[in-house]
Every structure is written in C-alpha cells, then in structure tokens.
Amino acid sequence: MSDRVKIMLMAAASLLLVALFVGVGLDADNYRYFLSRRVPRVLALIIAAVAIAQSSLVFQTITGNRILTPGIMGFDALYQATQLLLVLVLGGLSVAMANVYVNFALSVAVMMLFSLLLFGFYFNKQQAGIMTLLLLGVIFGQLFGSLSSFFMMLLDPTEFAVAQGKMFASFNNINGELVYLCLLPLALVVTLLYRQHRTLDVFWLDRDNAIGLGVDVKAVTRRVLLLIAVLVSVSTALVGPILFFGLLVANLSRQLCHSYQHRVLLLASSLLAVLMLLGGQWLLENLFSLNTTLSVVINFFGGLYFLWLLIRQKI
C-alpha cells in the first residue's frame, strides 16, 4: 500500500472520528449547546495532536536521534514548575490561575523566554554541538522538576488540589475562545515548517553532508528549534503536558510510511496523532466512562514503547 493511500485512509478515519465526536447525540433541541461544548474540545485535540506530532518529528530530524522529543529540553517540567509557583506566590484563586487567558499567556511567555535564553546561550558558542544543547535541556529539566517537588511541599492541601489539575493533560475543561486563539500560531508555524521540508530531508544525511550540500545547518537549526518551542509552548499551555505522545507518533509514522520526505512524514504524523487522540478520547468516554484520563494511558503505552526502542537499538 502506497504512502498516499495510507494518508488518505488516515484522513478519512480522522474525519469519521470528528463526525462521531460532534454529531452523536445531537437533536433539534440541544444541538446549539452541545456544539458549543464539543467543537472546542475536538479543535483542542487536533491542535495538540498536530503540534506535538510535528514538533517531535522535526526535533528528531534536527538531533538525528529517534528516541528524543522536545520534552528533553525541559518544557514540560518548566510548565509544571510555573503553575506551582503561581499557586504558591499568588494563590489558587488568583487571576493568574482562575483566568484561562492570563494563565495561558503567562505559561507561553515563560516557556518562550526560557527557549530564547537557552537557544541564545547555545548559539553564541562557536564550537557548541547539538548534544551540548540537549545536555543543557536535561539539566534544566531536572532543575525544574526538583523545584516542582519543593513547591509542592510548601502548598497547603487546597492549593495543591488546584495545582494538581494543571499537572496533567486534560481535554474536558477547555475554554473555546482559547482554542480559537491557538489556531493562528499553529497554522503559521505548520506552514513555516512545511516550507523547510526539503532542507529537513537533507539533515538525514548528517551534519557534514548537509553542510557540503550548501545548507546553513546552524541557521536552520536555530529557526526550527524556535518553531518547535512555539508548538510545544502552545500545546502544553492549552491542554497540559503529554510526556511520551510525541515519541509514539513520530516513530510510528516513520514505520508506517516508507518515505524519508518530510512533506509526507509531517502530514502522516499529524493525521496519526489526530487519530490516536480522538480515538483514545472517544473510547474512554464511551467504553470506559472516563474512569481514567487519556494522558495516563498515553504515558503508560508510550513508556513501554520507549523501553522497546531502547532494547531494540541496544542503547
């Protein structure tokens, strides 16, 4: 089966799941209310799926390693530390926590500021390699994780309950206008990434060959990492951190499609991510009555898949 047919099948299945989410249970009396609740949730799932899939896929291309995701840069840990610090300093009922727009803006601003500082420090070093940047990300991730543990020790039970709701990905309580606000940056970044697809194809030949073919590796890496930071910041601030989802989607899409071309892989990974999130959420709601959250299921199976990748590659 060709990659084009696979992509068409995934697109059709995604449209079917969207129709199930939006259309099942509607009638002439309540359709306005249910559409106002369901459409933003579906859009949030799609935004998170596309952002995580494309950022993880391109990050693996830039680093040349299929077991790495942007999570190694510490964005998830920074988001959690930010939420805990806001609760600790301002309180669980403060504007920064109660107002979704303020919380979203603060979360994105903090993560983007961190990425700019980290990338700026890295690219000012003449001899620094990408592994140096990854090592810095791991160190900061551990630092933010330790700060989160410390902040949790200082919270009282009521404030801890408020903060805990921000620690895990959630698709049930999403502000509709916040979702629509994320559509513009997502569309802009996805377009910019797609315009880089030929250059990203060359990165598979390794750094030296890419330079020999006329690619400004440092400039491309800087641009792509900043675009990745935008995608990760928006998706994390919108729905919360999903640890292993990017690893799952990026590697499964590479196994599903036999092409090395990023114009194919970007589309395939996005559709696969939409299928997994929409399908998983629909199954949880209709078969398991929401007895668990989708992020817990993804992290469980993603962790098992990560271990399988390590064993297979003998790392």
CATH number at residue 43: 1.10.3470.10
| Co-location of 26 and 110 in the same domain | no
Per-residue pLDDT reduced to its tens digit, 28-55: 666 676 677 778 888 888 888 899 899 8
The last residue of one of the domains, among 102, 137, 167, is: 167
pTM: 0.83
Cβ neighbours of residue 206 under 8 Å, at least 6 residues apart? Answer: 64
| Co-location of 277 and 193 in the same domain | yes
**What DSSP string runs through 208-262?**
HHHHHTT--HHHHHHHHHHHHHHHHHHHHHHH---TTHHHHHHHHHHHH-----H
Task: Quote the pLDDT of residue 94.
Answer: 67
| Co-location of 144 and 280 in the same domain | no
| Co-location of 55 and 114 in the same domain | no
| Co-location of 56 and 89 in the same domain | no
| Co-location of 181 and 313 in the same domain | yes
| Co-location of 34 and 86 in the same domain | no
Count how many residues are written for the chain.
315
| Co-location of 232 and 203 in the same domain | yes
Per-residue pLDDT reduced to its tens digit, 158-187: 777 766 766 666 666 666 677 888 888 889
Torsion sign across C-alpha atoms 276, 278, 283, 285: positive
Task: Quote the pLDDT of residue 315.
Answer: 46
Q: Provide the domain count of the chain.
A: 2
Task: Quote the pLDDT of residue 62.
Answer: 84
Phi-psi region of 284 (alpha: psi -120 to 50; beta: other; left: phi over 0): alpha
The last residue of one of the domains, among 129, 152, 167, is: 167
The last residue of one of the domains, among 142, 167, 192, is: 167
| Co-location of 60 and 74 in the same domain | no
| Co-location of 217 and 292 in the same domain | yes
CA gap 44, 171 in Å, rounded: 7
> Could you read off the pLDDT tens digit of each residue along the chain, which spans 315 residues?
787 888 888 889 888 888 887 777 666 666 676 677 778 888 888 888 899 899 889 888 888 777 777 877 777 788 888 888 888 777 766 666 667 778 778 888 888 888 888 777 766 665 556 677 777 778 888 888 888 888 888 877 777 776 676 666 666 666 667 788 888 888 999 999 898 888 888 887 777 777 777 777 778 888 888 888 888 888 887 777 777 788 888 888 888 888 888 888 899 999 999 988 888 887 777 776 665 677 777 777 777 777 777 777 644
For residue 192, give its domain range. Answer: 1-69+170-315
| Co-location of 148 and 289 in the same domain | no
| Co-location of 236 and 313 in the same domain | yes
Residue 96: both structure tokens together: 């920064």
Task: Quote the pLDDT of residue 191.
Answer: 92
Cβ neighbours of residue 155 under 8 Å, at least 6 residues apart? Answer: 84, 87, 88, 163
